[in-house]
Amino acid sequence: MKKFLIRIVAYIFLILVVIEVLVRVFHLYTEDPPRFIDKLDVEKRVPGHKGYAVTGNRNQNFSEFNINEAGFNSHREFTPSKVKYEIALIGDSFIEGFHQDYYDSTGKKIEQQLNGVEVYEYGYAGYDLANQLHLMHSYKDEFELIDEIIVYLNYESDLERAEYEPNFGRITMLSSTVFKIRDNIKLLAYGSKIGILEPVKKLITGQGSENTSEDPEPEDEYEITPDMEQEYLENFKNLVRLYGFDKCKTTILLDSRKTSTSFLDYCEANNFKYIDFASKFEDASKPVTLIYDWHWNNHGRELIAECIVDFIKTRKNRDNCN
Amino acid sequence: MLFNSIEFLFFLPLVFGLYWFVFKQNVRVQNIFLIFASYLFYGWWDWRFLLLIFLSTLVDFFVGQRIYKNIDDRKKARYWLWASMAFNIGMLGFFKYSNFFVDSFIDMFHAIGYDIKSTWTLKVILPVGISFYTFQTMSYSFDIYYKKLTPSKNFIAFTAFVSFFPQLVAGPIERASNLLSQIINRRSFSYVQASGGIKLILWGLFKKMVIADSLAPIVDDIFANYGTYPASTLILGVCLFSFQVYGDFSGYSDIAIGTAKLFGIELMSNFKFPNFSRNVAEYWQRWHVSLSTWFRHYLYIPMGGSRVSKAKSVRNIIVIFLVSGFWHGANWTFIFWGGLHALFYIPVFLMGRNRMYANNVVGEKSLFPTPVEILQVLLTFALVTFSRIFFRSPSLTDSFQYMNRIATNFTYEPYAHPMGYRMLDFYILLALFVVYEYLIRKDERNPFKFKSKIVRFLLYTAVILTMLLFFDDGVNRSFIYFQF
């Protein structure tokens, strides 16, 4: 029995070591550059990190990221000035773009179509409208020099709060020993990414055993009730009141298929401009999202870039924007 | 509790530790602990059905004594045997087949012009593994009746025999002569046996998690949307289902046999590389062996087997396959599946080739199979796979439409994975799997039988890494044969 137990433990240890090496050699794990909250309470990435974001068990989507001095994933540094024409693109993981090489991002695609324009991508996974407007408000001086601001609004999840509160808890959690261990043992990072550790997490957090029935009940589709619509609108109004919204140069990028009519009506009635990419996506001949993920793929990003470029080119007179 | 669940990952070492370190001294206490562990294992699904297992145990324990007491009075003994069968088949009939009979009855009347409202259909939940443990307990009564066994007086050991958790829900369907005798006697720990068990568990998990679970979404997609796919995809779908069901069920059996080994108990082999069978008869000597032999011993031979006239033997073969099909599920598709296998089997039987490959494997004396063997294996695989259209389809109409679409829409189009994965990965995986299974084809109980420790270590590592590479969190991980 002693021999059996010793050998089992030794084999498990050696196998895990070899798999750890293989996971590193074939870069099966994904990297998540560290996050922090700066002195203006803006949550972003620690500058200067380069690496690769990986999606899928078998390295199916492999892309390089580059965190610039401003703390965002971008191919360029953000140096706004009065002499250049700059566009700021603000949003969540869709704008942060860890699913495509940083040198082939949406911003880069816009720059390629608009000569002499610099696009600054202020993307950060988890940003909602409160984060975004607070960011613009905090970096007011910088944003005053930027000529166009495009704010990506995912209506279903970005209007759930009326005021920005920095999430110190999340930053503390991510820098805790448990997460540091996870990030340093690549096999754990890989296991966590592919979901094999999910049952362990559930067991530890007491979420019960998995469903083993033949036909698990489908999850309810997310539905926004009229009360929620009203709440979202009030949140929007409050955020605009708290942090400001320069209607002359700020435009919302949204998908009208996922946005309530009442919100769109409010925007139109109050002169909040928006770019709607719904029709472009609907008419797309190829898939617009990744196979293993719901984020935009290269074609999706091309269409988003096209929408923004078309909007900039046909930009109406900025007078009368308030 | 599923073998491939996180609960089992904690359950098994805990039960193993307590079994060998705490309850080792007394076999009776060890068996009581096994019963407790087995009931916990089963009750994890639905504790209410524990009562059924207990009732089945109680009835057959008592009936076994009665049969033995009247063993010289064959008439009385037969009555008691019938009592056991009535109880077990009655329980099976109620839980598994009641709705089938009601629906078939309604359909029959509908066909002759009478509409009956189906208010009789009951909302009966099928208890997991009922077909397995009822057959196991019935075999005990049969063996006593046929004087192959003396009944046990040890109720605790008998309860542990019926409920032994590794094989409780999906077999192998054990005989009392093999399992009960091991449970009654004191077990001692053996390093060779336990390490063999761990290897079988690992290989079984690989077959389940990698082969079966990764093919499941493809098979589900093709069978759910067969009306939209060309023949090439439909053929692919049923071929992949063949591998899926094999990986799923033989994987379960390997884990069951491996787990039992950890407790010092040897279960019978259930799968002996059926995909390398050279005719359908050999296939049935290699696929779900515990069920095939059950039907052979307790149905085919009592009916006369092959010792009667050819016509009666053919009748017996048809009966055994139809019953075997019906055992799998309360659906006409399974009866057709069984009937089809009877049709495949009868020519082999009439040519006297049904026992031809009973004691050897393909490529018995050489590394590579002969061209004739390759053709035989491919033909057998094609026949068995064809029959699986009935096995997998939800209804007979779907089965025939599936086949009709293959025949009438005989075109080729590359198939795209429903979740977007690269199909080439799966083809490579299956090719490697088939080659590896061929290499180990002579010993189903030792899947890592290589002399070099380094080769074995690399294989363990490769198997675990492949499990990670093909793991899919979204797949329903329950076993196909749990529904039977």
Greatest CA separation found in chain A? 85
Position A214 scores a pLDDT of: 42
**C-beta separation of B239 from B229 below 8 A:** no
CB-CB neighbors (< 8 A) of B416 in chain A: none
B457–chain A Cβ distance below 8 A for any pair = yes
pLDDT of amino acid B449: 87
Among the listed residues B297, B328, B341, B417, the single catalytic one is: B328
Mean of the pLDDT values across residues B459-476?
A: 89
Other C-beta atoms lying within 10 Å of the C-beta of residue B272:
19
pLDDT at B90 over 50: yes
Higher pLDDT, A188 or B124: A188
CB A207 within 8 A of CB A200: no
E strands in A127-273: 148-152, 250-254
Which of the residue ranges A202-216, A287-301, B296-310 would you say has the lowest mean pLDDT?
A: A202-216
Gap between the Cα atoms of B390 and A277, Å rounded: 47
Q: Report the relative pairing of strands A61-66 and A85-91 from DSSP bridges.
A: unpaired
Where does the pLDDT of residue B24 fall: very low under 50, low under 70, confident under 90, or very high at 90 and above? confident
Structure confidence at residue A227 as a pLDDT band (50, 70, 90):
confident
CATH number at residue A258: 3.40.50.1110
pLDDT of residue A259: 93
Q: Which domain does A302 fall in, by range?
A: 79-166+227-313
pLDDT at A210 over 50: no
Please indicate, yes or no, if residue A280 is contained in any of the structural domains: yes
Confidence of residue A220 (pLDDT cuts 50, 70, 90): very low
- According to DSSP, the β-strands at A43-45 and A50-55 are unpaired
Least confident interval from A133-137, B41-45, B197-201, B460-464: B41-45
Of A47-61, A187-201, A207-221, B207-221, the least confident: A207-221
Q: What is the pLDDT of residue A184?
A: 87
User: Is A176 a residue whose pLDDT tops 90?
Assistant: no
Question: Does residue A202 sit within a domain?
Answer: no
Check A209 against B460: CB less than 8 A apart: no
Interchain contact, A209 vs B7, CB within 8 Å: yes
CA of B417: which chain A residue's CA is closest?
A: A291
Q: How far apart are the C-alpha atoms of A206 and B12, rounded to whole Å?
A: 20
User: Is B478 in the A-facing interface, judged by CB distances under 8 Å?
Assistant: yes
> Is the residue at A204 inside a domain?
no
Pairwise CB contact (< 8 Å): A19 & B465: yes
Shortest distance, CA B209 to any CA of chain A (angstroms): 12
Residue A275 maps to a domain: yes
Instruction: Taking each helix axis as running N to C, give the angle between helix B130-145 and helix B74-92, from 0 to 180 degrees, rounded to the nearest 10.
Output: 180
Strand-pair partners of A121: A89
Nearest to A15 among B6, B198, B464 (CB): B464
Determine the pLDDT at residue A200: 79
Confirm if A61 and A99 have CB atoms less than 8 A apart.
yes
Decide the pairing of beta strands A85-91 and A148-152.
parallel
- Residues B362 and B373: their CA atoms lie apart, in Å, by 7
Q: Is B288 a catalytic residue?
A: no
**Model confidence pLDDT, tens digit, residues A81-125:** 999 999 999 999 999 999 899 999 999 999 999 988 999 999 999
- Summarised one tens digit per residue, pLDDT across range A28-67 is 998 889 999 999 999 999 999 999 999 888 888 889 999 9
Range 38-97 of B in CB contact (< 8 A) with A: 44-45
Q: Binning pLDDT at 50, 70 and 90, where does residue B122 land? A: low
Give the pLDDT band (50/70/90) at residue A285: confident
Which of B5, B191, B422 lies nearest to residue A210, judging by beta carbons?
B5
My answer on whether omega of the bond before B347 falls inside 30° of 0, hence cis, is: no
pLDDT for position A103: 94
Q: What is the pLDDT of residue A222?
A: 60
What are the angstrom distances between the C-alpha of B447 and each of A233, B192, B204, B438, B462? 63, 14, 10, 11, 14
DSSP lists the bridge partners of residue A91 as A123
Provide the H-helix boundaries in B263-308: 280-286, 289-295
Report the percent of chain A where pLDDT is more than 70: 92
Instruction: Classify residue B458 by burial, with Cβ atoms within 10 Å: 0-12, 13-18, 19+.
Output: middle
pLDDT level of residue B466 (50, 70, 90 thresholds): very high
Q: How far apart are CA A89 and CA A150, in angstroms?
A: 5
Residue B457 reports pLDDT greater than 50: yes
Q: What is the pLDDT of residue A318?
A: 58
d(CA B282, CA B278): 6
pLDDT at B114: 76
The answer to whether position A3 is within a domain reads: no
- pLDDT higher than threshold 90 for residue B49: no
Contact B187, B104 (CB under 8 A): no
Model pLDDT, residue A221: 53
Q: Cβ contacts (< 8 Å) between B472 and chain A: which residues?
A: 57
Confidence tier at B119 by pLDDT (50, 70, 90):
low
Residues of A in contact with B457 (CB under 8 A): 11, 14-15
Domain borders along chain B are 6-188, 192-278+357-483
Q: Quick one: which H or E segment has residue A85?
A: strand A85-91
Place of tokens 């340093």: A184
Whether residue B206 has pLDDT greater than 90: yes
Is pLDDT at A23 greater than 50 in this prediction? yes
* Mean of all residue pLDDT scores within chain B: 91
Supply the pLDDT for residue A315. Answer: 73
Structural domains in chain A (count)? 1
pLDDT > 70: percent of chain B: 98
Question: Tell me: the pLDDT tens digits for B217-270?
Answer: 999 999 999 999 999 999 999 999 999 999 999 999 999 999 999 999 999 999
What is the reported pLDDT for A207? 62
Q: Which of A194-198, A236-240, B14-18, B37-41 is the least confident region?
A: A194-198
Two tokens, residue A237: 């109004």
* pLDDT attached to residue A182: 82
Whether A320 shows a pLDDT value over 70: the answer reads: no
The pTM is what? 0.86
Average pLDDT rounded to a whole number, residues B32-42:
95
Contacts of B422 in chain A (CB under 8 A): 60
Q: A213 pLDDT exceeds 80?
A: no
Query: Taking the CB of residue A174, how many other CB atoms lie within 10 A of it?
Result: 16
Lowest-pLDDT choice from A31-35, A186-190, B113-117: B113-117
> Counting beta carbons within 10 angstroms of the beta carbon of residue A48, is it exposed (0 to 12), middle (13 to 18) or buried (19 or more)?
exposed
CB distance B195–A4 less than 8 Å? Answer: yes
pLDDT of residue A202: 77
CA nearest to B218, candidates B235, B199, B200: B235
Residues of A with CB under 8 A from a CB of B: 1, 3-4, 7-8, 11, 14-15, 18-19, 22, 28, 57-58, 60, 190-191, 194-196, 198-200, 202-203, 209-210, 212-214, 216, 291-292
Comparing A159-173, B1-15, B108-122, the range with the smallest average pLDDT is B108-122
